[in-house]
Amino acid sequence: MILPGSVSQSLAAALADQLDEPLAVVETDRFADGEFKLRVPDAGGDRAIIVAATTSAESHLELLQLQDLARANFDEVVTVLPYMGYARQDEAFRDGEPVSARAVARALSASTDRVVSVNPHEPTIGDFFDVPFDVIDAAPRLAEPLPDLDGPLFLAPDEGAVGLAETVRDAYGAGETDYFEKHRSYDTGDVAVEPAGTEPAGRSVVLVDDIVATGSTMAAAIDQLHEQRVAGVYVTCLHPMFAANARSKLAAAGVDGVWGTDTVERPTSAVSVAPAIADYF
């Protein structure tokens, strides 16, 4: 049985179709003091697959409740994290800070047999879990919604993300890859970004990233590329968080198209990672 978190209902339904598994209808009771309680009336069976992105404090607590009821009613519990909140807080950056990713991982390990995550920002967070932790690579899915482009340039935000851009390029079947370098003016102190070794002028550019959160960095990159007279700029990402006015920033910068997956369900979620998750099972 597939048990969906409230922010991952479409992905959970797609996975249920892919695996031909029943999809639970999760009921929620809310109380006057702000607490809530989940219920799955027909819970029970050999295996529960919980599909729940943790994009907020409430979604984290939802997941813990789903795990607890699954542990009591199923023989095996598998937790699928399409997007894991706090994963970028994988170290204490200053004295007196927690390692939030470790705290979350320990809590999520308590009532599951296995955790599966889709392209976590830092794969090493798996070391924080007390149960087996597997990673699913859904990056090739990002090529699917892209339009027909002539010799596109796939650009990563930094050298460390070139592998992601190469994966999308390979799945697309054409184009080159590069990454952005930052250059600071000694006279003004201004920072400019440009491809490290490729001339983008006159080309269609696809910006590839794992997460778009505030959109500020991506919008700045789009501005810089337009100054270099590119033919068009497109954005594709695995986890389209798009907090606050992020989507508007990209539009104001002159983006020609924006696509993401449904690890975080947004209007830009043009392609599903359900097939990649289904292949894992």
Positions annotated as catalytic residues are 182
d(CA 170, CA 191): 31
Contact 184, 202 (CB under 8 A): no
Tokens of 114: 């296995």
d(CA 100, CA 85): 9
Tokens of 263: 């690890």
Beta bridge partners of 237: 209, 260
Contact 250, 218 (CB under 8 A): yes
Tokens of 215: 């959109």
Contact 24, 53 (CB under 8 A): no
Contact 233, 262 (CB under 8 A): no
